[in-house]
Every structure is written in structure tokens, then in C-alpha cells.
Chains A and B, each alone.
Chain A
Amino acid sequence: GAVVSQHPSRVICKSGTSVKIECRSLDFQATTMFWYRQFPKKSLMLMATSNEGSKATYEQGVEKDKFLINHASLTLSTLTVTSAHPEDSSFYICSASRSLERSYNEQFFGPGTRLTVL
């Protein structure tokens, strides 16, 4: 099966610093990657859709300048939380699909990254 990794799995940072989270598809090329945010005991909220080589599409209410997404290759997308604050503390999950047309049942999730901002 397809494997998606995330790095780091946990990160603790000071308020005001920036944090980069990587999402990699290990054994397939991901034309589309999705970034989700999950608060404790809550559902996954889609933040943005990232297509390789183009700008990410952000969901309503998600600050583009706060959450920078780069999808520079078919196996790597990064989410950078800029000038992080305690309210940015959350569980961030990425998912990847092989192609837009086949993403019906081929979206593979990473293990998530737990961000804690002090």
C-alpha cells in the first residue's frame, strides 16, 4: 500500500518562531496533497489543497500568510506555520492522492504532527 510520512511527529516551539512540517509520499507520486488541522477531540478540518507546481488553494478562514504551503515536487509538500502562537497548537495531518481524478478512494494519510507552541 501507499505510505505517507510526516516529519516531525512532535514539535515544541516558542511563541514567535516558525515551524516547518514535511509530508512525503514514500512509494508513489502525489499530484495532490491535503493539509488538515485537528483540535483535541474534534474532527479534521481541511486547511488547504496543494497541487504540485502550483499555489495551494486555501479553505475559507485559513490565513495564507500564516500557513505557508509548498508542493515543490511530486513526493513532498511542506506546511510552515509562521510566527507561531499558542493558539496554533494542534495536530496537523497531511494526506496525498495519486491523481485528482483517482482521489475518490486513494487518499492516504500521514501519521500526523503534534505542534505545541509555548
Chain B
Amino acid sequence: AQKITQTQPGMFVQEKEAVTLDCTYDTSDQSYGLFWYKQPSSGEMIFLIYQGSYDEQNATEGRYSLNFQKARKSANLVISASQLGDSAMYFCAMRGGASKIIFGSGTRLSIRP
């Protein structure tokens, strides 16, 4: 069975600071993918970053980077130089062999000016 765990229900960060959102996962699949999505109050799911289980380098997309620790089964999202517009719910997700994506419980990030 696959499982995604996000242990931080909410976080407050000062604007311009970096923030790390934690995510651990569990799967018996050898090949899998890890995602991070942002969901603002409008409800839309915004894809941020993707990491394949066989990717040797950590994924980066602009201010977003994924700290992939395969042995620890963690896939933390790092947002550098946070902005007020980063305030939202953030979901870690995993795609396994069955192609479907399962989501963690989410972390609500609030950026303070």
C-alpha cells in the first residue's frame, strides 16, 4: 500500500525567508513519482514540481526545489525567498505503479509581510 505523510498542518514564515515543507512516503513500488501541488483559496491545483524515483538529481523549478532523500523516503519541498503569494495549501503526492496519484494531508503555508 502507498502512503504519503505530511506532518505539518500549518506553517508561518516571514516574507523573503526560505521554507521547507516536509513529506515522507511509503511504497513497495520500485518506480514511482513524487509531486508537489499548490492549492490557493480558489481551489485550483497548481503543479509545482516533479521527482522521479530514478532521477539522480533533485528537481528544481524556479524558486522550488525538491530535496529527495530516497533512503529516508522523504521528498521535502523547499521554497526559496518566499513571497506573499505563496500563501496556500501545499500537497505532496505520489504516483505509483497503478498510475493513480495519492495525496498527503497537506500543509497550510502562511507568509507574513
Contact = CB atoms under 8 A, between A and B. Distances in A.
Contacts of B35: 105
A94 to B, nearest CB: 10
B77 to A, nearest CB: 15
Interface residues of B, number: 20
Interface of B: 33, 35, 37, 42-45, 47, 50, 52, 91, 95, 99-106
Interface residues of A, number: 22
The winner among A42, A43, A91, A103 for most chain B CB atoms within 10 A is A43
Contacts of B100: 34, 46, 49
A112 B42 CA distance: 9
A62 interface: no
Contacts of B44: 109, 111-112
B43 A112 contact: yes
Given A43-B103, A46-B100, A111 B91 contact: no
Contact of A103 (B37, B52, B95, B102): B95
A114 interface: yes
Nearest to A109: B45
B91 A44 contact: yes
B103 to A, nearest CB: 5
A108 B47 CA distance: 8
A15 to B, nearest CB: 24
Contacts of A114: 43
